[in-house]
Chains A and B, each alone.
Chain A
Amino acid sequence: MTYSAAAEATAIEFVRVSKTFGDRERRHRVLNEVNWAVPKGKTTVIAGGSGQGKSVTLKLILGLLKPDSGQILVDGEDVVKMGQSQLRQLRTKFGVLFQGAALFDSLTVFENIALPLRERTKLKEAEIRAKVMATLATLELAGHEEKYPAQLSGGMKKRVGLARALQLKPEIVLFDEPTTGLDPLMTLEIYSLFQRMQRQLGYTAVIVSHDIPKVFELADRIVLINKGEADVFSEASEIIKSDKPHIRDFAEKTMGI
């Protein structure tokens, strides 16, 4: 499918973005003038093999890495040209669920979820408590608020990470390998939770995942990153029909076709 960004509102747009690692002798081009966009309010899945630049893509979106060339537009503003204070402002739009949940291990579940509210809002402690307890109930974590991350299972950690990421009602939520290390049942549970929360809050979701083909069920758009190129599909069946050899190869290896 040829992708056209003009038809719909986009939350994030990559315009001719290139990113290279290594030096003159051994260059590794992770992204080679890629163009793709994330539609607003929808779920975009970024898939690809290991070392193909999926996580680098997330870091580029957050302005934690700079591309060699190109534009990365978030709500029409170019992340590449932003200074530190503008980047900090930009990041207020995002919620991020990290691969290992990245919970603060010296804080309790309650304190972890309350952290963005305490640091970024002027809410009173009673209001923060009420909000956090409501989130804990929604994510079926009630009764675990006084536990520390080390006392939680993998699935619970992800749910706490999601609760923390959603506290400030972000416009865009980035998920970095959200089901790594979870059993198949827990994976399905986490996916259904993602869908439920997105319906409830209406955020734009960008999911980076290895979990193919299951994660494609969530996708409104799929971006396959392979050998520096990004191919965009609107559903998994299009991947199978692709006539590009590297896409066929990817489908055979990951989707069992």
Chain B
Amino acid sequence: MVHCPNCGGIPSSRTQRQNPLQNNTISTWAAPFYHLGDHCLALLADLGSMGLFLVSALAGLFRRPFRGRELVRQLRFIGAGSIAVIFFTALSSGMVLGLQGSYTLNKFGAEGMLGSAVSLTLIMELGPILTALMVAGRAGSAICAEIGIMRISEQIDALECMAVDPFRYLISPKFLAAIISVPLLTAMFDVVGIWGGYLAGVQLMGANSGSYFSSMSQSITNHEIRIGLIKSFVFALLVIWISAGRGYFVYRIRGAGFGAESVSKVTTQAVVLSSIAVLIFDYLLTAVLL
């Protein structure tokens, strides 16, 4: 509906900003400072918008009427739809851990600790991380593209004009579905991974079955499970926030272009950024929670 009179795009910080370098209003020596300042301002504006987006999305969870049917649809898409991907990722990760673990521990005569090594690695690290990365790649990208297309085809404007809160209607059910699905998928990842480790370590490499499970039950306490769950909850929030937010702000992301090109670029950006954010937050959470 609304297009910038200068360029035909939707008026935004991106389209409104003119480059004074092209108008020779800034001398050449100052150009790097101009670019640096310009990027810093854009980054700050972007962070501010994303912060407000998160607050609005979380606030939307408590607004009525609650969209139960949409929540179920999103649970099916983000959660149930990811089960196969998570199953095979978990199985292969667990089997690799079983093989590598038994090979390494054998060198130290500590093959009895295989169950402990596999389960600790899966529950505290690999389970939450790989589940979040898989959900980012499968569901996060799709959610970003869906919201981005709705934005550029004025469907989100239409919601606002109908006095329907786009956060409550569109964004918040996706947030809730991700927050519910990802910890459950992580739990599934852990179980399948431990089973994969058993297959490779015990059945193929000949480690002792009893010590596999007894070392596991000795080393895993509620503390380790809690760390894994907290991580999966935070990662879910990061993935859905970045994916939905990039799509929502598709028209004002610098360098993204317009139309279909902008949606494809922000979708890539959403997956890359949410993957990086998951890895950085994994370190921070491990440092704080251990």
A binds B: yes
What is the number of residues of chain A that contact chain B, defined by CB distance less than 8 Å?
Answer: 37
Cα-based distance from A104 to B149 in the complex (angstroms): 10
Q: Residue-by-residue, is B176-216 near A (CB-CB < 8 Å gives 1, otherwise 0)? A: 00000000000000000000000000000000000000000
Contacts of B158 in A (CB 8 A): 96, 98, 102-104
In the complex, the chain A residue whose C-beta lies closest to that of B17 is A23
Cα-based distance from A242 to B219 in the complex (angstroms): 89
Q: Residue-by-residue, is B2-24 near A (CB-CB < 8 Å gives 1, otherwise 0)? A: 11111010010000111010010
Cα-based distance from A135 to B105 in the complex (angstroms): 73
Contacts of A64 in B (CB 8 A): 2, 157, 160
Query: Which residues of B come within 8 Å of A, CB atoms?
Result: 1-6, 8, 11, 16-18, 20, 23, 25, 65, 149-150, 153-155, 157-158, 160-165, 169
Cβ contact of B18, chosen from A23, A62, A115, A120, cutoff 8 A: A23
In the complex, the chain B residue whose C-beta lies closest to that of A118 is B65
Question: Do A102 and B6 have beta carbons less than 8 Å apart?
Answer: no
Q: Whole-angstrom distance from the CB of B64 to the nearest CB of chain A?
A: 11
Q: Whole-angstrom distance from the CB of B17 to the nearest CB of chain A?
A: 7
Contacts of A120 in B (CB 8 A): 162-164
In the complex, the chain A residue whose C-beta lies closest to that of B23 is A25
Question: Do A96 and B1 have beta carbons less than 8 Å apart?
Answer: yes
Question: Can you name 15 A-B residue pairings with CB atoms under 8 Å?
Answer: A21-B16, A22-B18, A23-B17, A23-B18, A25-B23, A26-B23, A58-B1, A64-B2, A98-B154, A99-B154, A103-B155, A104-B158, A116-B162, A116-B164, A164-B162
Q: Residue-by-residue, is A58-72 near B (CB-CB < 8 Å gives 1, otherwise 0)? A: 110010110000000
Interface segment among A85-93, A126-134, A229-237, A246-254: the answer is A85-93
Contacts of A25 in B (CB 8 A): 18, 20, 23, 25
Cα-based distance from A26 to B11 in the complex (angstroms): 15
A176 proximal to B (CB < 8 A) = yes
Question: Do B165 and A56 have beta carbons less than 8 Å apart?
Answer: no
A213 proximal to B (CB < 8 A) = no
Seed contacts A28-B6, A119-B164; 7 additional CB < 8 Å A-B pairs: A21-B16, A53-B5, A64-B2, A64-B160, A104-B155, A120-B163, A168-B162
Contacts of A23 in B (CB 8 A): 16-18, 20
Cα-based distance from A197 to B3 in the complex (angstroms): 28
A108 proximal to B (CB < 8 A) = no
Question: Do A94 and B161 have beta carbons less than 8 Å apart?
Answer: yes
Q: Given A64-B157, A102-B153, A105-B153, does the pair A115, B2 have CB atoms closer than 8 Å?
A: no
Q: Whole-angstrom distance from the CB of B168 to the nearest CB of chain A?
A: 9
Question: Do A91 and B2 have beta carbons less than 8 Å apart?
Answer: no
Question: Do A102 and B157 have beta carbons less than 8 Å apart?
Answer: yes
Contacts of A102 in B (CB 8 A): 1, 153-155, 157-158
A-B CB proximity, top 9 nearest: A102-B154, A51-B5, A102-B158, A59-B2, A91-B163, A96-B161, A26-B18, A92-B163, A119-B164
Question: Do B1 and A91 have beta carbons less than 8 Å apart?
Answer: no
Cα-based distance from A120 to B169 in the complex (angstroms): 11
In the complex, the chain B residue whose C-beta lies closest to that of A57 is B2
Cβ contact of A22, chosen from B16, B157, B161, cutoff 8 A: B16
Cβ contact of B162, chosen from A21, A100, A119, cutoff 8 A: A119
Cβ contact of A56, chosen from B2, B16, B17, B25, cutoff 8 A: B2
Cα-based distance from A30 to B154 in the complex (angstroms): 22
Question: Do A100 and B160 have beta carbons less than 8 Å apart?
Answer: no
Question: Do B3 and A22 have beta carbons less than 8 Å apart?
Answer: no
Contacts of A187 in B (CB 8 A): none
Q: Whole-angstrom distance from the CB of B274 to the nearest CB of chain A?
A: 23
Cα-based distance from A98 to B159 in the complex (angstroms): 11
Cα-based distance from A92 to B16 in the complex (angstroms): 30
